[in-house]
Structure 1
């Protein structure tokens, strides 16, 4: 017997209505009844997007497979294989630089903890390749689980790299909830290609400053400088730059160092003794050259490899700063972020927060647009100033700023950034957050001091930046404070002025 279209429609409608009522009842009951496990956090008043994200995170931790490995080496029995002094080998192609404890991720009032390991691989790591973390706690206890492996890169930057290119990776190890709840922390971590294999790596897991962070005691700004490779003595420019950063509010400058001129070495020792600079030695892993002259030539010629190598110090600087500083600012020594109306970075950010109180809940980094102060623009000098004041002497810039989002430098939030590169947050910690917000040039700009246009963008420079210039002495407001500070350092370390 055939069912009439009207009856069929009524049947479908009743069924759909029943399903909706059941779903509504299920949602209501799940929101008020206790969770099935006493450990599992209660989720209240969250939207469906958060439930999807939160459920994925919770599921990852509540179904975490911890491998039961027997007959294991103790940490003191592990033979660590080193590559170029600062890198540990996992196998013939995987190299690890540093490891950090990350307790930032919050969902519905509950914390989820990770170990983040920064490393490189010769060639891309394929999806089917598996790696495992061994977390070493006090005593013989070793907790083993599969690592999440993500490349720190955007594919569109260099779509077809050579097979022997070194790629930067973040190895992420979820910390079992049982260990989190006990408030015990691993002292070291190893990475292996099989769950219970004998490791050849043993990285210290850093969490310096964690107690102060939990008490809400952090400083504001850490500046991050990628691997320094300077054969020439540019000490005078270093001093002017470092003293200006100090005026602006930098609490520390992390300077990663390959090889520098002995004059700069002396300068770094001076600032290190004052606590203003932290020097971190750095090499290239694997078969990349580390003899100073060969390495310098290599880094100049292999541009995309150079960019990939730079991601190591930038991300190490991010995780090194998690618990001690609110922001990191990746900068080169020819760049400085200058507030337009404010005097210091703290005052600038206070103004931004006053205007947009929720900006940091939407964006993981805040960016300043790039303005070129090229040496070729400045044909005259301020005779009332010593010529060695490079930035104070250069007050003519291109009238045009770089395109919005191009060549920016940023205040990167250490609360919400998962991975960074030299311009802004590459990946935020929370999926719904955006990577960066470019601030209005009425509030801040990034002064970029170069002798001439970058070679790789000369055609754009010729038509855009070289044609139109503008007098801009925004840096002049720091002159009265900056000049005596620089002169005092020159005298303190007995620099001979040429």
Structure 2
């Protein structure tokens, strides 16, 4: 029998097969000993004092839920309750140090919360106190702040989990998802952004043209960050969002509340069945305010079909010193709502010279509304004068935002004179009984058209890589004789 060069390797392999079961059993016993059950919060603390290991894997979101552009979903259901956590932010403005967890709660459910805080490889816990926002519009669910006090030896926690006090046990604790605590450091100046706009909430969105026009107008006004809370949209809309995300203007926050609740598309239960008001708009706005509290000097809360336009200057950068001088600095400024119905397209009352790039283009084959074609607004009446307004605010002065203004602190807000600035709302008519002759012409938007039109063209050309969708019409040329 000849010499087999593989015989030594075969002998080693047989020995390995013989001893490997013993090695496996040894490591299994070691693992079980290390991962002993935790029965109380005190045993958790004792465990961390004895070993540097962390008994749970901290994660910001469940696996497999990584959203486009690297944004992470943060919505977390609290086991054994109807509560959904949105995000966690350290609060620096209250007397006692605490973490504010923005949540969506079933208002009829009475829960005692327990907060688990991670602080330098140790876990601490405290009792959470829930404060439900008053603006729930009669829906079963509403927005809440769960306030978690910080122990004296854990003043800057990195992560937090919230559970019900009744379910504070081994199984519930080890399966909880921890949220990252943001805003751990307060900032008072030198913000990365001067103006941030929070747009909520985008659902089955197809209005591509108005979206592009609005984003370009916001840039002309001096906005350098736009935050979009998005549930769903058309492929064309997503392409536009990707374009602006790559440019650094837009941050898309995937808004997945519909995975947990039956969200309503109406602002009252009778306008749309569901668990919570208008797709969960208020918790999204609350998150945006706190997300940019120490990143932006000012934050504007308004919708995609709204624009706050100054009347004597051309940008928000020029407008804010006027407002601060007249109404006071670091405040909330409220802007009158003017509805420009999309059902009416009329020429200006008198001929206006065309700007160099043309002032009234038509973008064929682009879905959506052309704001330059709707220049007549409904009259301001007493029933609507102080409704549906929107705001620009110093976010560090905000505790509870709502759809229109701030909850519980309207005395800190000032109405802006319409001759200084007002809001242009291009939408379906609100005063449906009006005939076109009752509308009021306002051509302020046209003063931006010479810059707006080529910018919009560039976006479509670069994002869709084609010129075919562009077609121009001289809307405001003098009539033929």
In the TM superposition, 1:391-406 aligns within 5 A as 391-400=371-380, 403-406=384-387
- Which residue, 230, 250, 264 being the options, matches 1:257? 230
Q: Residue 266 of structure 1: SS of its match in structure 2?
A: helix
In the TM superposition, 1:69-80 aligns within 5 A as 69-71=42-44, 74=54, 76-77=56-57
CA shift, 1:471, in A, is 0.8
**In structure 2, C-alpha distance between the alignment counterparts of 1:79 and 1:391, rounded to whole Å:** 44
Do structure 1's residue 333 and structure 2's residue 304 form an aligned pair? yes
**In structure 2, C-alpha distance between the alignment counterparts of 1:369 and 1:150, rounded to whole Å:** 30
Q: 1:413 to 1:405 in 2, by over 3 A?
A: farther
Please tell me whether the aligned partners of residues 84 and 286 of structure 1 are also in contact (alpha carbons under 8 angstroms): no
Please tell me whether the aligned partners of residues 307 and 424 of structure 2 are also in contact (alpha carbons under 8 angstroms): yes
Greater mean alpha carbon deviation, residues 261-270 or residues 92-101? 92-101
In the TM superposition, 1:5-84 aligns within 5 A as 69-71=42-44, 74=54, 76-77=56-57
In the TM superposition, 1:115-264 aligns within 5 A as 115-126=99-110, 129-139=111-121, 141-154=122-135, 157-158=137-138, 161=139, 165-180=140-155, 185-194=156-165, 197-198=169-170, 199=173, 200-207=175-182, 210=185, 213-214=187-188, 216-232=190-206, 234-264=207-237
Q: 1:81 to 1:122 in 2, by over 3 A?
A: farther
**2:443 — aligned with what?**
473
- Which residue, 72, 76, 91 being the options, matches 1:88? 76
Please tell me whether the aligned partners of residues 209 and 323 of structure 1 are also in contact (alpha carbons under 8 angstroms): no
CA shift, 1:465, in A, is 9.3
CA shift, 1:340, in A, is 1.3
**1:55 — aligned with what?**
none
Q: 1:321 to 1:99 in 2, by over 3 A?
A: same
Unaligned 5+ runs, structure 1 = 1-66, 454-460
Do structure 1's residue 484 and structure 2's residue 457 form an aligned pair? no
**In structure 1, C-alpha distance between the alignment counterparts of 2:184 and 2:60, rounded to whole Å:** 27
**In structure 2, C-alpha distance between the alignment counterparts of 1:215 and 1:350, rounded to whole Å:** 16
* TM-score, normalised via structure 1 length: 0.70
**In structure 2, C-alpha distance between the alignment counterparts of 1:209 and 1:220, rounded to whole Å:** 21
Greater mean alpha carbon deviation, residues 143-152 or residues 199-208? 199-208
CA shift, 1:289, in A, is 4.8
Do structure 1's residue 315 and structure 2's residue 286 form an aligned pair? yes
**1:366 — aligned with what?**
333
Over aligned residues, Cα RMSD in angstroms?
3.4
Q: 1:216 to 1:422 in 2, by over 3 A?
A: same
**In structure 2, C-alpha distance between the alignment counterparts of 1:465 and 1:248, rounded to whole Å:** 32
**In structure 1, C-alpha distance between the alignment counterparts of 2:405 and 2:437, rounded to whole Å:** 28
Q: 1:311 to 1:222 in 2, by over 3 A?
A: same
- Which residue, 421, 424, 429 being the options, matches 1:447? 424
CA shift, 1:464, in A, is 7.5
**2:273 — aligned with what?**
302
- Higher Rg: 2
**In structure 2, C-alpha distance between the alignment counterparts of 1:75 and 1:411, rounded to whole Å:** 45
- 1:136-164 residue CA offsets vs partner (Å, 9 max, x unmatched): 1121x222111121112336x42xx4xxx
* TM-score, normalised via structure 2 length: 0.73
CA shift, 1:412, in A, is 2.5
CA shift, 1:437, in A, is 2.1
**In structure 2, C-alpha distance between the alignment counterparts of 1:285 and 1:84, rounded to whole Å:** 17
In the TM superposition, 1:395-434 aligns within 5 A as 395-400=375-380, 403-428=384-409, 434=411
**1:497 — aligned with what?**
469
**1:343 — aligned with what?**
314
**In structure 2, C-alpha distance between the alignment counterparts of 1:100 and 1:81, rounded to whole Å:** 16
Please tell me whether the aligned partners of residues 119 and 154 of structure 2 are also in contact (alpha carbons under 8 angstroms): no
- 1:407-454 residue CA offsets vs partner (Å, 9 max, x unmatched): 0010122111011122212245xxxx735322111111110001333x
**In structure 2, C-alpha distance between the alignment counterparts of 1:325 and 1:209, rounded to whole Å:** 16
**In structure 1, C-alpha distance between the alignment counterparts of 2:443 and 2:265, rounded to whole Å:** 37
Q: How many residues align?
A: 393
Please tell me whether the aligned partners of residues 398 and 465 of structure 1 are also in contact (alpha carbons under 8 angstroms): no
- 1:234-278 residue CA offsets vs partner (Å, 9 max, x unmatched): 222211110000111112111011110000111111100010000
CA shift, 1:189, in A, is 0.4
Unaligned 5+ runs, structure 2 = 1-39, 48-53, 66-72, 349-353, 364-368, 471-481
Q: Residue 400 of structure 2: SS of its match in structure 1?
A: strand
Q: Residue 322 of structure 2: SS of its match in structure 1?
A: helix
Greater mean alpha carbon deviation, residues 257-266 or residues 433-442? 433-442
